[in-house]
């Protein structure tokens, strides 16, 4: 199938979902019947929902592209951006900032810095070894240490701060304001482009480090470029929205079923799939028990995991 | 000319290769033979540049391999690894085209076509790698390496293969070796192949290197190097040397227990 035949419907589907999420079913009906929306509704859409939907879409695109990158880099379909271990660094730093009563801007920047510091630690620890397993183990060790520090911090927090930390940890686009949404919306295409330009490298890495070297790539450098870009992508998302689980794992798989495993085609479609998933999940998080709201991470995992299992079974049948 | 000079490698206190030297000329097939653990794959990794020797050097055309950039090396040699990967969701065509990454030239498309024709993989192109048989997968990987070499404009080109016949039945293995010989002659490509089957080497290799415990036991023209007493000493097993009635085929068979 020509890629365009898939990309266009995906983009249309994404636009439709975003519009639905912006207007709500009710608003959609009102617009369709030609009644128009009241000014307050427009204000809500412009100031609250638009940055939120934009942040959700950009976050989904980032997680999805990062997922494609780490799955290729680790040659493991179970890899997801969190595997590098940066989430724990971001979470601890964000929780610290929240506990100290910082505003959302500061929380964003601390979380991002925390994630990058964790990456740096993992890189220094895993540097002596050339195999990926050591890197994953180093990531796991760093995650465990930071995670226990986070638990310690949570146990010491007063109730008010605890609530905001917990909500942040569960992942939500609710806090996304225009500055955050714009940061994500600028980061997404930039990081994506840097990854997309490396599609031959991503393909070669899937064949193994030796094969990638034989095909003409500087493997060590390439692996770190890919890891860093994926960590950057995940870092932006986790800083803005907390832990949005499963999208970085599920979106690449879904995309692979649609376009195959070639990194070029995969990276073309993956951001659209990822954005579609997060925008949809965010809309569900807002509307399932409206006017109350669920953490979006709950939606992505609760719907994502069973869907993922179903997907794996389809895949199994396909090969049998 | 591809030349390894006094290559030594040790890892974790174990000597894997001890002052091994060999030469491969373009247009000829050189086979590396030896018991398990003799250092055959290590030698191939050193020659390809993927691993560095502790002493000695490898020269390929005018490049000192361990100072060469990956791109420059990839223009001169392609490698078929021992356990070729089959990533999920890839078609055979996806795999073959990875051979073009090193030098995306205008010659790329015709190189793909030629590599596909040489390996008879036309019918496999749209198929998923994971659905291919071992033999089919092997052919597709060979096409990938040929594609890499045919797209290159380097003056000297080499094809390195690590036990390419391991997953093949004996007719397919013989067919592959015949093909490698033909490719070597037709395109003036030097072929260095690690083999387990003595008789394949005997029939299809121009030169043979015999390795045992990391040191070179003999290197030279296949017929001269592969003598019964020498092979018996290297493999530690009694051999029968059989010659076909028309004297055109020679073969060694182990005679354990006799």
- Is the CB of B99 inside 8 Å of chain A's CB atoms? yes
Q: Which CATH number does the domain housing residue B115 bear?
A: 3.40.50.300
pLDDT at B258: 55
Same domain as B128, residue B10: yes
pLDDT tens digits for range A246-259: 888 889 988 988 89
Q: How far away is chain A from the Cα of B187, in angstroms, using its nearest Cα?
A: 20
- Domain region containing B183: 2-222
pLDDT tens digits for range B145-186: 999 999 998 999 999 999 999 888 889 999 999 999 999 999
- Is the CB of B114 inside 8 Å of chain A's CB atoms? no
Same domain as B233, residue B210: no
Question: Digits of tens for pLDDT over chain B (258 positions)?
Answer: 999 999 999 988 889 999 999 999 999 999 999 999 899 999 999 999 999 999 999 999 989 999 999 999 999 999 999 888 888 889 999 999 999 998 777 778 889 999 999 999 999 999 999 899 888 999 999 999 999 999 998 999 999 999 999 888 889 999 999 999 999 999 999 999 999 999 999 999 999 999 999 999 999 999 999 999 999 999 999 999 999 998 888 899 998 765
Is residue B23 within 8 Å of B1, Cβ to Cβ?
yes
Whether A319 sits inside 8 A of B130 (CB atoms) is: yes
Could you say which of B50, B90, B95 has the minimum Cβ distance to residue A213?
A: B50
Which residues on A lie below 8 Å from B90 (Cβ)?
206, 260-262
What's the distance, CA B79 to chain centroid?
8
pLDDT at A319: 45
pLDDT at A130: 59
Same domain as B234, residue B179: no
Same domain as B242, residue B140: no
User: Which is it for strands B2-11 and B77-80: parallel, antiparallel or unpaired?
Assistant: unpaired
Which residues on A lie below 8 Å from B87 (Cβ)?
75, 206-207, 261
- Token pair belonging to B91: 């078609």
pLDDT at A2: 63
Same domain as B215, residue B238: no
Scanning every residue of chain B, which has its alpha carbon at the shortest distance from the alpha carbon of A219?
B70
- Overall number of domains in chain B: 2
Q: Is A76 helix (H, G, I), strand (E, B) or coil?
A: coil
pLDDT at B18: 93
Same domain as B15, residue B75: yes
Same domain as B255, residue B168: no
Same domain as B245, residue B203: no
- Is the CB of B2 inside 8 Å of chain A's CB atoms? no
Which residues on B lie below 8 Å from A207 (Cβ)?
84-85, 87, 95, 98
pLDDT at A1: 55
Q: How far away is chain A from the Cα of B236, in angstroms, using its nearest Cα?
A: 33
Same domain as B62, residue B130: yes
Distance in angstroms (rounded) separating the CA atoms of residues A271 and A82: 17
Same domain as B177, residue B95: yes
Whether A214 sits inside 8 A of B50 (CB atoms) is: yes
pLDDT tens digits for range B88-112: 889 999 999 999 998 777 778 889 9
Same domain as B248, residue B121: no
- Percent of chain B as helix, strand, coil, to the nearest 5: 40, 30, 30
Q: How far away is chain B from the Cα of A141, in angstroms, using its nearest Cα?
A: 26
Scanning every residue of chain B, which has its alpha carbon at the shortest distance from the alpha carbon of A75?
B87
**Which residues is B7 bridged to in the sheet?**
B20
- Is the CB of B52 inside 8 Å of chain A's CB atoms? no
Same domain as B218, residue B163: yes
Per-residue DSSP letter, A45: I
- Identify the segments of chain A with pLDDT beneath 50: 318-320
**Structural domains in chain A?**
51-308 (1.10.3470.10)
């Amino acid at each position: 199938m020509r890629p365009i035949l898939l990309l266009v419907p995906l983009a249309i589907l994404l636009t439709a979902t975003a519009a639905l999420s912006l207007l709500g079913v009710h608003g959609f009906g009102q617009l369709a019947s030609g009644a128009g929306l009241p000014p307050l509704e427009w204000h809500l859409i412009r100031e609250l929902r638009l940055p939120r939907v934009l942040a959700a879409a950009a976050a989904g695109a980032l997680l999805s592209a990062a997922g494609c990158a780490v799955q290729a880099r680790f040659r493991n379909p179970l890899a997801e951006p969190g595997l590098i271990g940066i989430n724990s660094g971001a979470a601890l730093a964000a929780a610290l900032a929240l506990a100290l009563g910082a505003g959302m801007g500061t929380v964003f920047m601390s979380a991002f810095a925390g994630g990058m510091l964790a990456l740096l630690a993992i890189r220094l620890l895993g540097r002596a070894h050339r195999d990926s397993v050591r890197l994953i183990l180093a990531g796991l060790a760093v995650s465990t240490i930071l995670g226990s520090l986070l638990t310690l911090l949570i146990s010491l927090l007063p109730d008010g701060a605890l609530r905001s930390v917990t909500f942040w940890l569960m992942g939500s686009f609710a806090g996304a304001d225009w500055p955050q949404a714009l940061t994500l919306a600028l980061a997404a295409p930039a990081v994506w482009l840097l990854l997309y330009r490396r599609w031959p490298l991503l393909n070669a890495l899937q064949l193994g480090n030796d094969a990638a070297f034989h095909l003409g790539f500087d493997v060590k450098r390439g692996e770190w470029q890919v890891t860093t870009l994926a960590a950057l992508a995940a870092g932006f998302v986790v800083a803005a929205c907390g832990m949005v689980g499963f999208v970085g794992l599920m979106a690449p798989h879904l995309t692979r079923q649609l376009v195959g495993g070639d990194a070029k085609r995969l990276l073309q479609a993956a951001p659209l799939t990822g954005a579609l998933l997060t925008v949809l999940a965010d809309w569900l998080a807002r509307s399932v028990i409206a006017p109350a709201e669920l953490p979006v991470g709950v939606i992505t995992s609760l719907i994502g995991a069973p869907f993922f299992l179903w997907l794996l079974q389809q895949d199994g049948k396909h090969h049998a | 000319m591809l030349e390894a000079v006094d290559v030594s490698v040790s890892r974790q206190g174990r000597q894997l290769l001890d002052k091994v030297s060999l030469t491969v000329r373009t247009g000829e097939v050189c086979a590396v033979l030896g018991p398990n653990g003799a250092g055959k794959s290590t030698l191939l990794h050193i020659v390809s540049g993927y691993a560095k020797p502790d002493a000695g050097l490898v020269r390929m055309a005018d490049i000192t391999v361990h100072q060469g950039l990956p791109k420059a090396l990839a223009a001169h040699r392609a490698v078929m690894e021992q356990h070729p990967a089959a990533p999920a969701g890839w078609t055979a065509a996806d795999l073959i085209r990875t051979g073009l990454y090193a030098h995306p030239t205008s010659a790329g498309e015709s190189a793909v076509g030629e590599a596909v024709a040489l390996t008879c993989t036309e019918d496999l192109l749209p198929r998923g790698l994971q659905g291919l048989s071992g033999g089919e997968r092997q052919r597709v990987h060979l096409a990938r390496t040929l594609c890499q070499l045919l797209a290159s404009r380097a003056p000297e080109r080499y094809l390195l293969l690590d036990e390419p016949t391991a997953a093949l039945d004996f007719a397919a293995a013989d067919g592959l070796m015949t093909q490698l010989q033909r490719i070597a002659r037709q395109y003036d490509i030097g072929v260095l192949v690690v083999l387990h089957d003595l008789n394949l080497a005997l029939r299809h290799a121009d030169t043979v290197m015999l390795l045992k415990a990391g040191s070179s036991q003999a290197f030279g023209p296949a017929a001269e190097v592969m003598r019964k007493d020498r092979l018996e000493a290297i493999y530690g097993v009694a051999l029968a040397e059989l010659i076909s009635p028309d004297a055109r085929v020679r073969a060694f068979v182990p005679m354990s227990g006799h």
